[in-house]
Structure 1
Amino acid sequence: MARTVTAWVGWVWFGAFALLTVGLFNIVAGLVAVFQDDKVLAWSGNGVVLFDVSAWGWVHLLLGIALTALGLALFTGAAWARYTACVFVVLNLVAQFVSLPVTPWWSLTVIALDVVVLWALTVHGADVERAVS
C-alpha cells in the first residue's frame, strides 16, 4: 500500500519547533517569576486582581518543561505526543490568558504561537504519522 506524504508535514515540524519555543519562553518567564517575591496588582475594567508572581512562576516553569519535552517528542511522529501536546497547549493558553493583565505583550505572543501549534497538530498531524512510519 502506497503512503502519500504531503507537504503539510512541514507545518507539524514547524509546530514542534514553535512548541519548543513556547516551552522555552515559559521556562524563562517562570524562572524570572519564581525568584521574585512580588505581588502584582492588575486593574481591569471590572476590578482589581492580585497576582502572586512567584506562584504563577512555578506554573509557567512546569508547563514550560512539559511543553519543551513534548516539542521534542513530536519529532518522533507519535500520535500520543500530538494528543498530549494539544492538551498541554490548551493548558498553556489558559495560563497565558490569566497572565494577560500582568504581562500583556508576552502573553499575546505566546497565545499566538499556541494557536499556530494547535492548528498544525490538529489539522496536519496524521500526515506526520504516515511520513515517519
Structure 2
Amino acid sequence: MIFGGAMAVLEGIAAIAKDDLFLATRHYVFEFNLTGWGWVHLIVGILIVFAGCAVLSGALWARYFGVVVAGLGTIANFLWIPYYPLWATVLVGVNLFIVWALCAGMHREADHGRAA
C-alpha cells in the first residue's frame, strides 16, 4: 500500500507541476484541468500511504479504511487513463491488488479466530 500510495503522490506532484509527459485530451467526460487531477491524486496517494502505515500496526479499522481509499484510487486512476495510459493502468492494477489483499487478509483472520 505504501508503494502504491507513493506512486500516486508522485503522479499528483507531476500533474500539479504541469509536466510535459501528460496527454492533452479534449471532449473527455471527466475533464478537469491538470492541476485539479494532480490534487486528487496527491490527496488520495497520501491517504493510501497513511492507510498502509496504519495496516502495519494491525488495526482492523485500517483495513477497512485501506479498502475504501484504494477503491477511490482505482476509480481516480481509471478516470485518469486518457492523460497517462500506462501509469494509470499500472496503478489501477496496484490498487485492485491492494483491495484484494486487504479483503483476503480479513477472511484469513476470521478463519484463524474460529480454529482457535
TM bucket (normalised to shorter chain) is 0.7 to 0.9
Partner of 1:96: 77
Give the greater-gyration-radius structure (CA).
Answer: 1
SS of residue in 2 equivalent to 1:83: helix
Instruction: State the Cα distance separating 1:128 from its structure 2 match.
Output: 5.4
Off by >3 Å, runs of 4+ in structure 1: 37-41, 126-131
Alpha-carbon distance in structure 2 between the residues aligned to 1:107 and 1:64 = 13
Partner of 1:15: none
Instruction: State the Cα distance separating 1:68 from its structure 2 match.
Output: 0.4
Two-structure CA RMSD over aligned residues (Å) = 2.4
> Aligned AA for 2:7?
F
Partner of 1:36: 18
Partner of 2:43: 62
Instruction: State the Cα distance separating 1:35 from its structure 2 match.
Output: 1.8
Question: Matched residues, percent identical?
Answer: 29
Partner of 1:124: 105
Give a deviation string over 1:17-38, Cα, whole Å, max 9, x none.
xx11111001111111112288
Determine which structure has greater relative contact order: mean sequence separation of CA pairs < 8 Å that are 6+ residues apart, divided by chain length. 1
Aligned residue pairs, count: 109
Alpha-carbon distance in structure 2 between the residues aligned to 1:112 and 1:40 = 21
TM-score by length of 1: 0.72
Partner of 1:14: none
Instruction: State the Cα distance separating 1:114 from its structure 2 match.
Output: 1.0
